[in-house]
Amino acid sequence: MKHLLGVSALIAAITLAAWAWLGTGFDKLLPIRASEESFYVDRLLGMQFYVIAFLFALIIGFMLYSFIVFRRRPGDDGDGDHFHGNTTLEVVWTVVPLGVVLYFAVLGTGYLSDITSPETDELVVEVTGSQWNWRFDYPEYGISSAELFLPVNRQTVLELTSIDVIHSFWVPEFRVKQDAVPGMVHPLRITPTETGAYVVRCAEICGLDHSYMLADVSVMETADFDAWLQSQMAPPTGGLAEVGAELAQVNGCLGCHSIDGSENTGPTWLGIYGEEVYLADGSEIIIDDAYLRASIIDPGSQIVAGFENVSMPANFGAVLSDADLDALVAYIASLGKDKE
């Protein structure tokens, strides 16, 4: 009984010390909470840390107490006492953790249901991941963007998909995370609560430039967001090449193809239009509209010597319309010979 009181006091002391430490610093380790969902996630995580602190004290407390109180004294060569089970103790250490786990399961299920349930006035944004780009489409407005713009305090459903491998959409300040899987659409619901600038990361290893698969996120006041929508819905004022430049940005082409002549995963676009080049199979062609269209739709078909078809998505034919292809080709042509 004396030992039980002693070790209990030690465990209580370590637990209280750990809780006091958690109370001072835990929040500072995390990025700010910028969505409604983040409050649920942090509440659950925080509660688990408090339970874990007690479990830590339970193990360390027994260990420290035994080291000191039951250490071997000089001249003590005897065996320890022999015990044969303790039913009460076994029932306690089975039932109590079971209760704790069930409590968290019920709480977690409730939170999950809260943060994933649809609302009537949701903003829909289609998010397409590709190696290594994020593309955001606003189907209700016919807008595509390379940056994610969201109105504050309105629930948005991101419909996530991918055109090549599995990616994962993650903005740490929003806490929630969801995979973007080719051939499937996964919803992710976010209600931003803080205006400001954030960054989407890809949280699934997806190839060479996985760690650079970033996109800007801007959470705006409703009026500013509406103004942005209006500016995007206005018909393009520039020519076809200008539309193509926008498409190259949105679809992530410029991640692999430079427009200033510098080396990259794919051939630069500067000065290639009208050039004669050798293909990997030794034949010679002239880069014209037909070649560019074919290379966008079926990137593996005619590869320029010295390059490999490492990562260009094979289904731009399905993603881009005929008009999109015309605009992209016009843009590449505008970077042609005389621009060298």
Q: Which residues bind ligand CUA (CB under 6 A)?
A: 129, 132, 167, 202, 204-206, 210, 213
Question: Pick from 151, 195, 193, 163: which is nearest to 176 by CA?
Answer: 193
State the nearest-atom distance from the C-beta of 229 to ligand CUA, in Å: 27
Task: State the nearest-atom distance from the C-beta of 219 to ligand CUA, in Å.
Answer: 22
For residues 131 and 138, the answer to whether their CB atoms sit within 8 Å is no
Q: CB nearer to ligand CUA: give 134 or 138.
A: 134
- CB of 205: closest distance to ligand CUA in angstroms? 6
> Whole-angstrom distance between the N-terminal and C-terminal Cα of the chain?
88
Q: Whose CA is closest to 154, among 196, 109, 123, 200?
A: 123
Smallest gap from Cβ 202 to ligand CUA, in A, equals 3
Work out the number of other CB atoms within 10 angstroms of the CB of residue 14.
19
Q: CB of 176: closest distance to ligand CUA in angstroms?
A: 17
Length reported for the chain:
340
The whole-angstrom separation of Cα 327 and Cα 242 is 8
Shortest Cβ 158–ligand CUA spacing (Å)? 15
For the beta carbon of residue 126, count every other beta carbon within 10 angstroms.
16
Q: What token pair was written down for 309?
A: 């078809």
CB 37 within 8 A of CB 178: no
- Phi, psi dihedrals of residue 149, rounded to the nearest 5°: -105, 130
Q: How far is the CB of 167 from ligand CUA (least distance, A)?
A: 3
**CA 90 to mean position of chain CA atoms:** 43
Tell me whether residue 107 or residue 166 sits nearer to ligand CUA (CB atom).
166
Residue 329 CB neighbour total at 10 angstroms: 22
For strand 156-162 and strand 123-130, is the pairing parallel, antiparallel, or unpaired?
A: parallel
CB of 245 to ligand CUA, least distance (A): 24
Number of Cβ atoms within 10 Å of the Cβ of 7: 17
Of residues 154 and 210, the one with the C-beta less far from ligand CUA: 210
Question: Minimum distance from CB of 135 to ligand CUA (Å)?
Answer: 12
For ligand CUA, which is the closer residue by CB, 38 or 311? Answer: 311
DSSP helix/strand/coil, 191? coil
- Cα(186)–Cα(168) distance, integer angstroms: 11
Closer to ligand CUA at the Cβ: 93 or 212? 212
The three-point CA angle 273-279-281 to 5° equals 165
Taking a C-beta distance cutoff of 8 angstroms, is the pair 135, 125 a contact?
no
Q: Which is nearer to ligand CUA, 8 or 211 (CB)?
A: 211
